[in-house]
Amino acid sequence: MIRIRRATRSDATAIGRVHVETWQSAYAGLLPDAMLAHMSDVRHSAMWARALEDPGEARGIFVADDEAMGVVGFGSCGPVRDPPEGLDDKARRVGEVYLLYVEPDFQNQGLGRRLLDAMFRQLRSDGFDTAVLWMLAENPTRFFYEGLGGALVGQRTDTFAGVDVDEVAYAWRDLAAPLVRRRLAP
């Protein structure tokens, strides 16, 4: 059985490991090789340990916890850091899903959707009515977010290890709506 739950301090090492593993597998060819090769379980675990020490940040960090394997996915959310230009209503309270990753062996089993659902609930209970998520424009999992109702609302260029990379933003304007898969236009 795999449970979605809020992360605790003792999850830092496991989240760091999954973070490095999922980036190295998902972003090969999309982000600079040298940067991916330089990622380290130790440094990322330390970064997550610091985040989990801070109650304000920790409330937005969730894990998918498998009975046998431990943490196999994670996500984090909180107030928006970079509001996309295409959000029409400036009066909205905007939250952001910062990260969402599921280990390759555990993908396509509904964990991404369940983690996203847990983060939307958290954002709602923290008073946000809209969620945005930035991702690499070339990431094939864009279709995962489009299928779950995300609307394209922005683009920007970010720099990773000195290389400019295009990113796009998706938004959900009704965090109470169930995350059911919609049929995409062919």
Catalog residues that contact ligand COA under the rule CB under 6 A.
22, 26, 100-102, 107-113, 135, 139-141, 143-144, 147, 181
Of residues 72 and 94, the one with the C-beta less far from ligand COA:
72
Cα 130 from chain centre? 15
Q: How far is the CB of 152 from ligand COA (least distance, A)?
A: 14
Of residues 36 and 90, the one with the C-beta less far from ligand COA:
36
- Distance between CA atoms of 165 and 88, rounded to whole angstroms? 25
Of residues 79 and 149, the one with the C-beta less far from ligand COA:
149
Neighbours of 176 (CB within 10 A): 9
Q: What is the dihedral of CA 158, 47, 53, 25, to 10 degrees?
A: 80
Of residues 22 and 122, the one with the C-beta less far from ligand COA:
22
Nearest to 81 by CA among 169, 20, 140: 169
3-state secondary structure of 165: strand
Q: How far is the CB of 162 from ligand COA (least distance, A)?
A: 21
Q: How far is the CB of 12 from ligand COA (least distance, A)?
A: 19
